[in-house]
Structure 1
Amino acid sequence: MKTITKIGLRGGAALQVLTLVSAGLTTFSAPAFAQASQASSDEPSSDTIVVTGSIIRRTDAETPSPVTRVTTEELDRRGINTVQDGIQKLASNNGPALTNGFTANGAFAGGASAVSLRGLSTNSTLVLFDGLRAAYYPLADDGSRNFVDLNTIQDDIVENVEVLKDGASSSYGADAIAGVVNIITKREFKGIAGRVEAGVAENGAGGSQRLSLMAGTGDLDDNGFNAYISGFYYHSEAVYNRQLDAPFNSSDQRGIGGHNGQAYGLDANGVLENNGTLTAQGDGNYNLGNLYVRPADALTNTAIAGSRYQLLAGRCLNGTPYTPTAADRAPSNNANIPNLVCNEDGVNKYGVVAPEIQRFGGSARITARVGDTSEAYLSVNFQQSTVSYTGGPPTIRGNAPTGIFYPQFSTSSNAAVRAPGSFVLSLPVYVCARSTVGPCTATNGTLNPNNPFATAGQNALIIGGLPTTITSNETRSRVYRAAAGIQGTIFDDVDYKVDFTAMHTDLRRKMDGYVYIQHLLDVIKDGSYNFVNPAANSQDVQDYLTPTNISNASSDLYQGQFTMSKAIADLPGGPLQVAIGGSIYHEAVDAPSANSDINGPTMRYFTLNAFGTKGSRTVSSAFGEIVAPVIDQVELEASGRYDHYSSGQSAFSPKFGIKVKPVRQLLLRGTYSKGFRIPSFGEANALPTTGYVSQVAANIPAAFRAQYGAACATTPASCPTYLTNYSIGQTTLASPNLNPEKSRSFTAGAVFEPIRNLSFTVDYYNIKKTGAITSPSTAPAIAAYYAGQPIPAGFNVIADAPDVNNPTATPRIAFVESTLINSDTIKSEGIDFGANFTHDFGGVKWSSNLEASMLINLSTTFPDGTTEKYVGTLGNFNLTAGSGTFKWHGYWSNTLDFGKLALTGTVNYTSGYDLSAMDQGNEYKDCGLSPGYGDCHVSKYITFDLNTNFKVTDKVNFYVNVINLFDNLPDIDPVTYGAFLYNSVQAGEGVYGRIFRAGARFKF
């Protein structure tokens, strides 16, 4: 990676790999600070450059701020085939990143990818295209965080990516608290070039194809213009759990560890914990493709005492029949399992690891000289991206979503006898026409053919999933972008630049197979759907029950910006330069809910997220910068920006920097800045959003558990599945009264070049965000509910349906509602390391590059003074969705170039973590989220990639990539949200195993 200023990876335990690096090999890379960096793509002169984070041209690439440049050539050498993937592999990208693979696991922002510098989440990293802002992805991450989708720029027109790992609100305004990723496109291109590539994992998973073609003409120096066009196609196949190696390919988790080396899922006595393969077959958590029924009183709709659920069809329509033994029923949490269950391997049959992705698009740009000192450009881009994946059978929920009470379907006509509703869905004794008003009785209806207990005058409680249907999801985004501008010099010594950009995103979401609640009630009432034999239903009936859901969303960004700079005096170290600028931009998001209950709580779908938001604002800004080379060895910088929002907020963001070069081999640098993040549209005016957090029975007080039996009170693992296998919904309400988050950050670093072509960098950073927008910790509300105490102000606790086997016990919690507030202080602190080395050994050129980042502290301090720490754990769930905060992250890449043949090997490292999270009621690293039948610690993850490039001719290259050469699989993680038994952010594509890619590039 060619770096302008080094910032490295993060590492922690990485020291085992990085020790190899730091200890013995001082031979790594970080472009020497004395070495001038290549000019950005839009620079009219090769003598001066503009570095991300500054608006003043300079001849020295090193600024007080740490900036790293990643070139597309380097990504090719490392075998990284998309710019999006290259950004995701930045050392400073940590924890709350949003990956393409996460899309297949129900992410709010399905179909998108986002970066999270410094572990501060996707909304604190600003992504620019050629120094200009871009439209947000229409769907917010977790329903609240606005971000720019990294997939929306064509890979083959990208020249490089500059990553500013320092607060940059003084230059760019909101969202740049953790840093800036500036994707820079090619300024000019001559000739014809293209690429053909295909790849697949050794096990046949994850096949991909890539095609691109670019043609350009004209020379800016000789002809005064250049124009090019480019087109591309990219496709990657969906990856399913069944294609992976064990244990990631099966619901059967036995045999992969556990107490005394026995088996996963067995306790110390060899008894199945958490039901083992019987999970979801015991107390009502039926989520796969079979329907179960249980007799219930027709008046009260409560289960008949002593009864059990049984298969409605009398046989397994999906899965393998199994008759539980006395030993299976011995644990109290298995006591009420049906007499016949269907052991269905849902992970193997339905599990999706990564979605199918198909992208295509085109770009065009023309650049022309205007007079002797100016240059103008116009560029246009279009890209369409389609992301799709399938799910499992849709659920017929025994317990409805928040606020929905099912009708009783009672045979009684006495309103005083009939309760107003029930949380538990049931099949009535009689069915009648949908238009019938009042209860169905023997007088106006017929016995329900779907209810096996109808002749006994009993309702049938029904749970499970539709056996003949699976859900599917598709997002299709179309992105249109245009940019134009002119830059140059006027009045002999004033540099100016004027830019305009417009970007529009259309997003269509299509969801099939989901049950529409009112239609479910309709077909239950009239008996038109055959629940006993779902395969006998006509397509029309099936479509009525699960109608296609299509929703459309959009986002827009329009921006105009100008800058002017001039040297106004000569100082001992060089010219004193001053720059000013102004910007105005309009941004808007229109993302209506795909599952709104505006027409009533039953006029919606099961399980589809209800998030939706709409908003727009115009932002006016003025900014300035001064660079003062006081003496040859000292340079001072200062910049500031004022932003005013049409929604009423304003912010001033200053920044100060210093660069000291006491000797030729050493450069010292540091910055201090303030920044802000404007409340997102989702935070300010969205519909409620709900995320789910796993609940551990051990965290429920023993006094509450005692309602479910003495054994449950003393031994949490003995509690019914109702308490041991569920999640609490955390519903967040938006607030229009939020203030911008404020930040303070400083960096201090050094660049050391002891000899030519060998350099080292180290940079310390410290970021403090105050007034952080968050939902308040739900722990006090949860604790109060379970203790039987009043719920604290600001919270609403919604109880779940009672346990059907313990109907008189106080129910568990279903949802906790709270409103977003400006409350917390978040701190991120760490050190970046980098090293670069190049040397020619008699015709063999060795290039080595190391980047590593160590996260010292990521924590949240609350108004009461308490602090939660997250480094090396699964926290912060509010930011990371349980994907963890890694202490170390980094890579080390080495290339041997023999002329015709070049070999590049890259070691990738991500540190391990403990299965705990302080924001889930645990102490720091107390293993509080560990299931108890496996290790508390998830090990570090190391992979090695090998790329071979062969020059067939000077114009044609052939290459072969082997990703994860040693077929190293990630450690088992049974807790992390978004993947099965592994951490998708830590592992990435490594969970596929060994991957091969081959391709050819040509340029004439």
Structure 2
Amino acid sequence: MAVGMALSAQPVVAQDEGKSIEKIQVTGSHIRRTDMEGPSPITSLDAGDIADTGVTDLIGLFAKLPISGQGTFSTQGNSSDDTANGGSSVSLRGLGADSTLILVNGRRVSVSPFAKGIDTAFVDINNIPLAAIKRVDILKDGASATYGSDAIAGVINIILKDDFDGFEVSAKYGDTADGGGEEQNISLVFGNTGEKSSHTFILDYFDREEIMYSDRDYSRSANQAALRPNDPDAVDFRSSSGIPGTIALRADPTNRIIDEFGQDSCPADQIDRVNTLCRYDYAPHMTMIPDAERFSFNYMGRYEINPDLSAFVELNGQNSKSIVRGAGSPSFNELFMAGDNAFHPFADDPTHPFFGEDLTMRRRTVDIGNREKRVDSDYYRTILGFEGQWDRWTWELAYNYIKSESVERGVDGFPNSRRTQEAIDSELWNPFEPSQNSQEALDFIETTTTRVGKSTNRALNFVTSGPVARLDAGDMMLAVGATYREETISDNPDDQFLRGEVFGTEATQANGSRDSTALFAELGVPLMPDLEVQLAVRYEDYSDFGTTTDPKVSFLWTPTDTLSIRGSYGTAFRAPSLHQIGLGRTDESPNLVDTVRCDAVGLACDPMEYTAVFEGNPDLEPEESSSYNLGVIYEFTENLDISLDYYSYDIENIIDADTQFVFSTFGGDPDVVERLPTGIEGDPGEVVRVFDSFQNLGDLETSGLDMDVNYSLESSYGQFGFGFIMNYVLEYEEFRPGADGGVRLNAEAGDFEQPEVRWTASMDWAQDDLAASLMVNYVGEFSGDADAGFGDKTVDAWTTVDATVTYMGLEDTTLTFGATNLFNEEPPYSHHDFYGFVNTVHSGQGRFMYVQANYRF
């Protein structure tokens, strides 16, 4: 699938007298070079490599890369509770999407205004259509000395097409084997390249139909125990909030009965008589992969003012729309009915224990409809700049302005809790007889929700590079530069969220801004004809947390024409995100164990949903890391080469929230855990809410091996190419504070969502007017979710096959037929959640077959 950059190293290219050789800027360095070889490990994928994978968007590509790990996320699994619907990003080495720096043409872009999982700031790679991409470079070591914050795990640099000459139209249609997920894509690329100017225009339209969990046999019901009758450990995940629901005493919610009274009653197949609950199967109503529609525009222009000065412009824009569906909103004892209410189900039965008692309920508001969210996002990127040269030095000055705006609307199925309670109290709405309620009552309790987000990034960059001395082995090259950047973020739900009046969904609120100034320098020193050393350092001054300085040293040694050894060491940092600093009050519902009360009186010892209140922390410090990489590249023959790299990362002061640790350690502190007294001696009381925030806590150490093998063969049967890319995790250990003041191991390699090995094997073939490719993708096994009680289980390895066939025998036309997951392999079963697989690691799309036509003239 991928060809490693510079797998066979060559000496520095000499410049013949009187002959100019163009120098280019390579990802990971500001020094312009005559070749793309360098000390850092880089994998590069061009447009042809990407097309061979059969993917239709960038996240589909990155999810297949063995270097991707935990924290990579797509729109799969978007739900009415998600805080970043419609967004996707990649996490290199499993260190988090916020520790992977995403660049476009070597420059930063703004983060999504809606954070993932409350606090994870990420660049939404759905903003970049495949049709606009010339190449993707993946730098696989820390690069803060070059690019600054967020480059802890590495850098992904997306290079856009800028030198297109002619006109090309491309159309693609595909569909899945099991229903849902139909896709259409059409793109236009046109431009011209003249003696003094070049212009490239790209228009792209993408439309994908939603896939529901009901479209797949293994996820069509939340009752996994019924779907897998031969597995005694399979769980019934159906909700305890049903329709018409379960009735309980307000004074003692554990004293409850199923609503089987009156005209409306709980369906027999939804009754859990053991636990006296009316359950609800929400899975058929939930989105697995949301409906998505995107239209984008890209322009790349360059004009030569004189032989030593050029101007350039980059304009990018996209509008994207996404629809997310979920089951009707659940309530869990938030609503009440007075004992003298006319709708009281036992008002006419004085013999019933609940007669005249105030009631509460577990009840799902299916009667106002299933939940539906619509997300509408706009992305704009403008780059204006000049580049030139004096003597043998080059320089570039550029200004960029990037803005992302998103509006998320809840358009159906969301009740306003205040009005719902008023409707019960005024006897306008009867929660126990849904079919008897009027449309007026339903309209009164239903609401629409709005959440508006915006992020901006303004930056002024200057960099210059050139030779500073002539050594026996070549020129000593220097690059120096400076950057000034301003960032803002705002994420504001409507007043209903802020007043806590919307149940059945979650939203964040965050507002913040910062500016930073950076000074950086790089020095490339050819110590010998076969040994190059690069030194880099970057100083950054942030307005909200201070300064940081990060160095990096790397080398490339080529003792023979067939052997190269490379290595690097450097420090890196990740600035606290504006979400983590500026988050307003946000309520979450994590499953926690009240260890304090359990130890005191033996109650609340099982995991339960509690309300956790999060807020930002303006006193956060940056995460700091050190990393090193040591690799060997060997060319066995002209047709066979291999690279093997060892990497190691040590990250300190990880920014995170560990609510269970806070709950267990400070559960008796009323400023941290709010409780209601029970009057029982020694009982600390029932929990109302837990207050938590983000902290610098814990460390992480990880190391592993990257292998890349390439072999080519020419024969009378055609030209063949073979590739193998593997990532093997030797160590992954995440440490967190322990309740006893020590440390505890929070995660390690092979744990849930942490496969130790991933690899991709590929074969390409071409002869005359035909070409074909075959790719095998392997994701290793890992342990089940210990937090959900399945740490003793194993999630099996998963192998999928992708294939393409291309015909080029028609004039100016290329036809491609292909399939991803050709054999329709189901994702391996996991006990941890209702959908039956790990949707952060595996895909539920299934077999996707497509046809594509390209016409160019």
State if a TM-score over 0.5 links the two structures.
Answer: yes
CA drift of 1:449 comes to 3.3
How far has the Cα of 1:694 moved from its partner?
Answer: 4.4
Task: Give secondary structure in 2 for the equivalent of 1:55.
Answer: coil
Aligned partner of 1:817: which letter? Answer: F
Equivalent residue, structure 2, for 1:828: 702
Measure, in 1, the Cα distance between the counterparts of 2:761 and 2:151: 27
Equivalent residue for 1:754? 636
Q: Secondary structure at the match of 1:524?
A: helix
The two structures have a TM-score, normalised by structure 2, of 0.91
Give 1:312 shift: 5.5
CA distance in 2, matches of 1:182, 1:323: 51
**Alignment pair present for 1:462 and 2:361:** yes
Contact conserved, 1:395 with 1:606, CA < 8 A, in 2?
Answer: yes
Q: Distance in 1 between matches of 2:785 and 2:81?
A: 23
Structure 2: tracts of 5 or more residues without a match: 14-19, 351-355
Could you tell me which of 453, 458, 475 is aligned with 1:558?
A: 458
Give distance in 1, aligned partners of 2:671 and 2:725: 44
> How many angstroms does 1:233 deviate by?
0.8
CA distance in 2, matches of 1:178, 1:263: 39
Is it true that 1:182 corresponds to 2:39 in the alignment?
A: no
Q: 1:377 to 1:814 in 2, by over 3 A?
A: same
Shift of 1:351: 2.8
Distance apart, 1:732 and its partner CA = 3.5
Matched, 1:428 2:338: yes
771, 775, 781: which one aligns with 1:902: 771
Partner of 1:846: 720
2:842 is paired with a residue whose SS is helix
**Any idea what SS the aligned residue of 2:62 has?**
helix
CA contact 2:765–2:773 (8 Å) conserved in 1: yes
> Cα distance 1:549–1:702, how it changes in 2: closer, same or farther (>3 A)?
closer
Question: Match of 2:55?
Answer: 80
Rounded Cα–Cα distance in structure 1 between residues aligned with 2:746 and 2:704:
14
Residue from 312, 334, 342 that aligns with 1:448: 342
| 2:789 counterpart of 1:929 | yes
Task: State the shift of 1:871 in Å.
Answer: 3.5
Distance 1:313 1:464, change over 3 A: farther
CA distance in 2, matches of 1:624, 1:736: 30
Question: Does the CA contact (< 8 Å) of 1:453 and 1:460 recur in 2?
Answer: no
Q: CA deviation at 1:728?
A: 4.7
Q: Find out whether 1:358 has 2:293 as its counterpart.
A: yes
Q: 1:680 to 1:314 in 2, by over 3 A?
A: same
Aligned to 2:77: 102
Report if aligned partners of 1:731, 1:818 keep a CA contact under 8 Å in 2: yes
1:345-367 alpha-carbon deviations (Å, 9 max, x no partner) = 432x3132111111112122221
Q: Name the SS of the counterpart of 1:102 in structure 2.
A: coil
Whether 1:395 aligns to 2:302 is no
Partner Cα separation in structure 1 for residue 794 and residue 596 of structure 2: 23
1:309 is aligned to 258
**How many angstroms apart in 2 are the aligned matches of 1:78 and 1:679?**
35
Does the alignment pair 1:735 with 2:617?
Answer: yes
Letter in 2 for 1:761: S
| 1:129 counterpart = 2:104 | yes
Provide, for residues 248-277 of structure 1, a one-character-per-residue CA deviation record: whole Å limited to 9, x for no partner.
22233236667xxx44458xxxxxxx6x58
RMSD, matched Cα: 3.0
Over 3 Å counting, the alpha-carbon distance change for 1:673 and 1:95 in structure 2 is same
Aligned pairs for 1:231-270 within 5 A: 231-245=203-217, 247-254=218-225, 262-264=230-232
Amino acid at match of 2:264: R
Pairs within 5 Å for 1:781-800? 781-782=663-664, 791=667, 796-798=672-674
- Counterpart-to-counterpart distance in 1, 2:179 and 2:188: 28
- What is the alpha-carbon distance in structure 2 between the residues aligned to residue 560 and residue 210 of structure 1? 35
- SS of the residue 1:542 aligns to: helix
Instruction: Note closer, same or farther for the CA distance 1:312–1:138 as it changes in structure 2 (3 Å cut).
Output: farther
Pair 1:526–1:692, CA change in 2 (3 A): closer
Distance 1:743 1:450 in 2: 61
Partner of residue 182, structure 2 = 207
In structure 1, runs of 5+ residues without a counterpart are 6-29, 38-44, 267-273, 401-424, 431-446, 708-721, 785-789, 876-883, 921-927
SS at match of 1:544: helix
Higher share of residues assigned strand: 2
Match of 1:42 in 2: none
After TM superposition, the structure 1 = structure 2 runs for residues 847-996 of structure 1, keeping only pairs within 5 Å, are 847-862=721-736, 864=741, 866-868=743-745, 870-874=747-751, 884-917=753-786, 920=787, 929-930=789-790, 936-975=793-832, 980-988=835-843, 991-996=844-849
Match of 2:655 in 1: 773
CA distance in 1, matches of 2:426, 2:814: 67
Distance 1:303 1:154 in 2: 52
**Structure-2 separation of matches of 1:323 and 1:767:** 50
Q: Which amino acid aligns with 1:293?
A: I
Q: Which of 261, 282, 294 is residue 346 of structure 1 equivalent to?
A: 282
Count of matched residue positions in the alignment of Structure 1 and Structure 2: 839
**What secondary structure does 1:145 align onto?**
coil
Higher relative contact order (CA 8 A, sep 6+): 1
Q: What is the letter of the counterpart of residue 8 of structure 2?
A: A
Q: 2:400 maps to what in 1?
A: 501
Q: Distance in 2 between matches of 1:478 and 1:663?
A: 52
Task: Report the alpha carbon displacement of residue 370 of structure 1 after superposing the two structures with TM.
Answer: 2.5
Partner residue, 1:649: 546
Q: Deviations over 1:432-484 (max 9, x none)?
A: xxxxxxxxxxxxxxx52364436743434322112322111111110111112
One-letter code of the match for 2:574?
R
Q: Which amino acid aligns with 1:33?
A: A
TM-score (norm 1): 0.78
SS of the residue 2:825 aligns to? coil
2:133 corresponds, among 145, 154, 158, to: 158
Query: What is aligned with 2:477?
Result: 577
Structure 1 counterpart SS, 2:823 = coil
- Choose from 315, 318, 324 the match for 1:380: 315
- 1:24 aligns to what? none
Give how far 1:828 is off.
Answer: 2.2
Conserved 8 A contact 2:45-2:135: yes
Q: d(CA) in 1 for partners of 2:716 and 2:251?
A: 86
Contact 2:724 2:761 in 1 (8 A): yes
8 Å contact 2:10–2:558 — kept in the other structure?
no
| Residue pair 1:116, 1:124 contacting (<8 A) in 2 also | yes
Query: Percent of pairs identical after alignment?
Result: 22
Output one character per residue of 1:500-558: Cα deviation in whole Å (capped at 9) or x when no partner: 21111111010132221111121111112243443554545323312111121101011
Contact 2:639 2:712 in 1 (8 A): yes
